[in-house]
Amino acid sequence: MSPNLTERLSCRWVPGTLDTVLVEHPYGEARLRLADVKRTLGREVLQGLYLSGRYHLDLPATRLREVLRDLGLVVTPRTTLTLPLRVPA
């Protein structure tokens, strides 16, 4: 992946909660406490969540992995299986 490409981190409320945020990223998604997200991403995330219910951040891939690590998330690359699996007879 080229270092100039950006990847998106999206946050939105988990329905029925007041302090839990669903963080979606190219490597998956996670439910995190609002305090942890605010500590890592700053006050801007609160403004986006409270005003529109969503917050998006586009970052270079290397920076996104750093942010995810700071949020306590384990980042593993996704793998795509291209060959059919054979089931032993």
Q: With 90 as the cut, is the pLDDT of residue 86 above it?
A: no
Q: Using pLDDT thresholds of 50, 70 and 90, give the confidence band for residue 75.
A: confident
Nearest to 11 by CA among 1, 3, 39, 41: 41
CA–CA separation, 31 and 37 (whole Å): 10
* Listed residue (19, 64, 84) closest to 46, CA to CA: 19
20-25 β-sheet, strand order: 28-33, 20-25, 6-13, 54-60
Residue 83 has pLDDT above 60, yes or no: no
Residue 1 pLDDT grade (very low, low, confident, very high; cuts 50, 70, 90): very low
How far apart (Å, rounded) are the C-alpha atoms in residues 55 and 13? 10
Q: Answer yes or no: pTM beyond 0.85.
A: no
Residue 33 dihedral angles phi and psi, to the nearest 5°: -70, 145
